[in-house]
Amino acid sequence: MSELGVKLRASLELIKRLELVYGELLRSYGELVELLRESGLLELVELYEKYSGCSIEETWVLNKAKKKYYYYYLKCIDGRSIYLGKSPGSISTFKQVGKRALELKNTVDEARRAISELGEQLKQYILDLYLIAAVTSTSTPTSTREK
């Protein structure tokens, strides 16, 4: 039992480091979220979700000289039609970046949940170490009753 007590005392010395590292993880996560917020991640995700059900349509018209001119519209499922002009511009790039932003937002949300769960498990583990240390540090001498 004394060998276990020595190992646990050594582990208890690490508890402060565990708590410190977990605190650093929380601060780093918070800093990451703030940087993503500053970069406009949420706005990109919002725009992507707003226009994700839209596709680019090309239409053409003939001018007086019978020459075709092409125009582009963003056609949406809900019936909206947004004029893009003579070039579709960077809509496909925007959609690609927006999709990536949405995936990143979802990953950050999953990380938040995982960090929270890690914190709960770490707190329980630390409490368990304290309990075991308390049990191993108190010696219960065997006493005989005198009659």
Residue of 114, 88, 110, 108 lying closest to 45 (CA atoms): 108
- Residue 6 and residue 105: Cα distance in Å, rounded? 45
Of the pLDDT bands very low, low, confident and very high (cuts 50, 70, 90), residue 104 is very high
What tokens does 45 get? Answer: 């995700």
Least confident of 29-43, 96-110, 126-140: 126-140
pLDDT at site 102 = 94
φ and ψ at residue 54, rounded to 5 degrees: -110, 155
Q: Is 70 left (phi over 0), alpha (psi -120 to 50) or beta?
A: beta
**pTM for the structure as a whole:** 0.67
Cβ pair 85, 72 in contact under 8 A: yes
Please, how many CA atoms are within 13 Å of residue 110, restricted to the half-sphere of its CB?
A: 6
pLDDT at site 131 = 81
Residue 142, pLDDT above cutoff 80: no
